[in-house]
Amino acid sequence: MANLGFVGLGVMGGQMVSRLLSKGHTVTGYNRTRSKAQWLIDKGMKWADSPRAVAAAADVTFAMVTNSAAIASVTEGPDGMLAGLSAGKIFVDISTVSPSVSRALAAKVREKGADMVDSPVSGSVITLQEGKLSVMVGGRRETFERVNPLLLDIGPKVTYVGDNGLALAMKIAVNLSLAVQMMAFSEGVLLAEKSGIARETAVDVLTHSAVASPMIQYRGPFVLQQPEEAWFDVNMMQKDMLLALELGRQLDVPLPTTAVSNEFLTAARGMGMAKLDFAVMFDVLARMSGISK
């Protein structure tokens, strides 16, 4: 059983901590809003008043925050995680940020005598709860070997992909496909609907057809009814699409379907849908098709 820390106890981070606690690990946690972490405290998680305190208390500290600015806010400064790290400790960053930002942070971690891996995940709250999450890891192999058993307690599929930043590149490659698939699915549903097929029927057929990836199977029904709480909202998805487009420009890889799908996310934001699950791309295309939901 390990002495762990966790910074960022949102929907996904909180569920990860719950799994780690259920495996018998000691977890010290911090979240910007303590009230959102109360259910974890009730389950036995220890509370710390700052990211620094979390890193100081734990041997391995995880973080899962929204973007590059957020990871800077929890790692830098007198109360940041860097101030709490020391020789032998490990930082596992689950956040999806720019690979270059992550590499620069890893260099700062190593200056403290600690080490860092980037370890983004692929999946949703449902796949996490079902124990089906996929985990990618970038960093030194010896550090990966040390944290691999812990990551297996979060998800059953853990893949070492190479040096620091490469797991993030892989995650970005995965996530651009989510939006592109959602766009294609929306086109199919609307083409069927305007042909005279009930939307519910079209969704049922497509989610049980050859095009039904796991993402389409669990998110496709969102075109009929959005979830009460977004699993992955428009703003979060667009952040990852912009990371993909930036990486594509750096590597001279054209990403035409990514670019088009990204514009529909911009349209969704313009229509006031930024906080809804990114499946709301369907609603944008529906309005363009003359269909009101």
The angle, 0 to 180 degrees and rounded to 10, between the axes of the packed helices 68-75 and 99-111 is: 10
Residue 129: what pLDDT?
78
Q: Provide Rg for the chain, Cα atoms.
A: 20
Q: Where are the domains of the chain?
A: 3-163, 169-288
- CB neighbours (10 Å) of residue 275? 13
User: Residue 48's closest CA among 99, 7, 95?
Assistant: 7
Which pTM was predicted? Answer: 0.89
Average pLDDT, consecutive stretches of 10 residues, N- to C-terminus, the chain (293 residues): 94 93 97 93 97 98 94 96 97 95 97 97 80 92 97 94 97 95 97 97 96 91 90 94 96 98 98 96 96 77
Report the run of H or E that residue 159 belongs to, with start and end: strand 157-162
In the numeric block, the tokens 């893949």 are attached to 159
How crowded is the C-beta side of 192, counted as CA atoms within 13 Å? 16
Q: How far apart are CA 231 and CA 166, in angstroms?
A: 25
Contacts of 189 (CB under 8 A, 6+ apart): 199, 202, 203, 206, 223, 282
Separation between Cα atoms, residue 233 and residue 76, nearest integer Å: 27
> Whole-angstrom Cα distance, residue 285 to residue 205?
20
What is residue 228's predicted lDDT score, i.e. its pLDDT?
85
Question: Which pairing describes strands 60-63 and 46-47: parallel, antiparallel, or unpaired?
Answer: unpaired
Q: What is the pLDDT of residue 293?
A: 63
Measured distance CA(95)–CA(74) in Å, rounded: 12
Residue of 125, 144, 141, 142 whose CA lies nearest to 133: 125
Q: Which residues are catalytic?
A: 171
Give the tokens for residue 76: 């830098």
d(CA 200, CA 197): 8
Architecture of the domain whose range is 3-163: 3-Layer(aba) Sandwich (3.40)
Q: Under a CB-based contact definition with an 8 Å cutoff, are residues 29 and 3 in contact?
A: no
Domain 169-288 homologous superfamily, CATH: N-(1-d-carboxylethyl)-l-norvaline Dehydrogenase; domain 2 (1.10.1040.10)
